[in-house]
Amino acid sequence: MTVLVRPKALNDHKVRTFQMLIDGKWVDSADGRTIERVAPGHGVVVSRYQAASGVDAERAIAAARRAFDDGPWPRMTASERSLVLLRAADMIAARADELAFLDAIESGKPISQAKGELGGAADIWRYAAALARDLHGESYNTLGDGTLGVVLREAIGVISIITPWNFPFLIVSQKLPFALAAGCTTVVKPSEMTSASTLVLGEILQAAGVPAGVVNIVTGTGPEVGAPMTTHGDVDMISFTGSTGVGRLTMANAAQTLKKVSLELGGKNPQIVFPDANLDEFIDAAVFGAYFNAGECCNAGSRLILHRDIADEVTARIAALSAKVKVGDPLDPETQVGAIITPQHLEKIAGYVSAASKDGAAVAHGGETLDLGMGQFMAPTILSQVRPDMAVAREEVFGPVLSVLTFETTDEAIRIANSIDYGLSAGVWSRDFDTCMTIGRRVRAGTVWMNTFMDGASELPFGGYRQSGLGRELGRHAVEDYTETKTLNMHIGARTGWWMPR
């Protein structure tokens, strides 16, 4: 039985209308169109944005190009840029409640989760500020008496940053501060469903001292705004987070002008559990990994690969804990699973559950959509008797749905884990160090958690193998991703022996 937290009406909420940030000015879209955002947990309009067109995107790109080619930001010292990022981090922390509220009402995520994400985001901005001063090149004084080699790292230029709806502020914070730390200028397009907190970030960056044109924020749909941001000749790099399908399109668009591309895409992440694991800790982590952010998370632990000897017991215990998970009002501090982003996405999630049931899976818990009087919600769901060939075991459901598969040998578990197209993250649970290291080395994923799940830190790189993306975010090399290397090969003294006759 799911614990329900029914949404309360947003009677005192005033719909906020936002403008876009282009070349340091807050402006309306060129044709005056707007987008209204309906809160997924409350069913009422909560925000209104500008519906940008290709004309607006080109204005933003032109502003970023001027700011990079002629403006002060790329020419500042690293310490000057670092101080701006530190001021921004402090302002993010000071406005965390406001930003978390905007993310909660627009995405449907629980307010307590949104506040946690804001704390993590502020830390990322501070970490990027530190990396700004650590960016350096190389020198080679080993090339003989007549040669000195120097390798420079230079800001790559104008960056198009495109972010999704599921972690509006956190994901822009995994990209933008590192691009700024390197000295790049940017055009940012948040999802048209969750743009508010990114636009408030624009206010923060202006107040922190970011010059005009360095950060431009345009709001609108992918076809109208995202497409020119990925094809325009004045854009030097694209940093995109979203679905694998749109990632492929982004890469194809970038190929027209051979831009550098960083992609963080989908995942279908396994947790492999052996009989000697600490099952109390695992069961808590399994419920968290499956239902965090209502499962609308590329890192969700949506595949449990359980040893056959413990599968029935563990599934029953996960179902019992799932029944205690509180689902409902995103603004209630007690809520653990909020609303699904759109009615269409809720229908898609329910369709996966229905198809799996028809294909032989058993619903061990949940399985139904929930009518709480407003908004759209999905019950935490566990599917047992899932086969590796089922769609629900191979495709990204992006909802609070957990698929349970079983194995008998380590090799079989690894084979199941690696049998899909994704490779973002994975988990292994065992008290045996050798077992954990074997899984860690052989499972093809960008992150492998051992006896934990979905932990993270600004210092640890994040990204995936195969169709989970290209490149890495966070970590000590994050700023370097937004740079080019340039070799200076310098001759010292008089040179003789050129091959041309004199």
For residue 408, the 8-state DSSP code is: S
Alpha carbons within 13 A on the beta-carbon side of 411: 0
Residue 191: closest CA among 256, 131, 246: 246
Taking the C-alpha atoms of 465, 466, 471 and 476 in order, what is their torsion angle to the nearest 10 degrees?
0
CA angle at residue 283 from 281 to 284, to 5 degrees? Answer: 65
Residue 191: closest CA among 119, 128, 122, 240: 240
335 and 292 in contact (C-beta within 8 Å)? no
State CA 479 to chain mean position distance: 17
From residue 369, alpha-carbon distances to 95, 347, 361, 380 in Å are: 34, 9, 18, 9
For residue 421, the 8-state DSSP code is: S
Residue 152: closest CA among 484, 490, 477: 484
381 and 366 in contact (C-beta within 8 Å)? yes
- What are the strands of the beta sheet with 25-27, ordered from one edge? 25-27, 20-22, 215-217, 185-189, 158-162, 237-241, 260-264, 469-470
Query: How many residues make up the chain in this entry?
Result: 502
Tokens encoding 254 = 């970038």
Question: Which amino acids are annotated catalytic?
Answer: 264, 298
Which secondary structure element, helix H or strand E, spans residue 80, and what is its range?
helix 78-94
From residue 207, alpha-carbon distances to 41, 174, 337, 353 in Å are: 32, 20, 35, 48
Per DSSP, the three-state class of 136 is coil
Per DSSP, the three-state class of 306 is strand
Rounded CA-CA distance 339/346 in Å is 9
